[in-house]
Structure 1
Amino acid sequence: MPDPTLRPYRPADRAACLALFDSNMPSSFLPHERAEFIEWLDGLDGSSSEACEYSVVEDAGQAVACGGIWWGGDPQRPAGFAWGMVARDLQRRGYGTRLVLARLERLRELGVAEVHLDTTQHTAPYYARFGFLEMGRVPDGYGPGLDRVDMVAQLERSGA
Structure 2
Amino acid sequence: MSTVRPFTSADRDACLVLFDSNVPGFFVPQERAEFEEWLGQPFDSGEYGEYFVLEDGGRVVACGGVWLDPQHPERPAGFSWGMVARDAHRRGYGSALLHFRLGRLRELGAREVHLDTSQHTAPFYARFGFREVRRVPDSYGPGLDRVDLVAELGG
Q: Which residue of 1 aligns with 2:22?
A: 24
Give 1:68's match in structure 2, choosing from 59, 65, 69: 65
Q: Which amino acid aligns with 1:154?
A: E
Q: CA deviation at 1:144?
A: 0.2
Aligned residue pairs, count: 154
Tell me which residue corresponds to 2:32: 34
Q: 1:1-160 to 2 correspondence within 5 Å?
A: 3-44=1-42, 50-72=47-69, 73-157=71-155
Q: Partner amino acid for 1:102?
A: F
Alpha carbon RMSD of aligned pairs, Å? 1.4
* CA shift for structure 1 position 38: 1.2
CA drift at 1:51: 4.8
Report the CA distance between 1:45 and its aligned residue: 5.4
Q: Is the 8 A contact 2:76 2:112 kept in 1?
A: yes
State the distance in 1 between where 2:128 and 2:19 align. 23
Identity of matched residues, %: 65
Q: Helix, strand or coil: the match of 2:39?
A: helix
Structure-1-length-normalised TM-score: 0.92
What is the DSSP-based 3-state SS (H/G/I as helix, E as strand, rest coil) of the residue aligned with 1:27?
coil
SS of the aligned residue for 2:30 comes to helix
Partner Cα separation in structure 1 for residue 43 and residue 154 of structure 2: 31
Asked whether the 8 Å contact 2:43–2:49 carries over to 1, the reply is no
* 1:102-135 deviation digits (Å, cap 9, x = unpaired): 0000000111001000000011000001110000
Cα distance 1:105–1:45, how it changes in 2: closer, same or farther (>3 A)?
closer
Once residues 45 and 150 of structure 1 are traced to their aligned partners in structure 2, the CA distance between those partners, rounded to angstroms, is 23
- The list of structure 1 runs, each at least 4 consecutive aligned residues, that deviate by more than 3 angstroms after superposition, is none
Question: Could you state the TM-score of these two structures normalised by the residue count of structure 2?
Answer: 0.95
1:149 aligned partner, one-letter code:
V
Task: Choose 120-129 or 73-82, whichever is displaced more.
Answer: 73-82
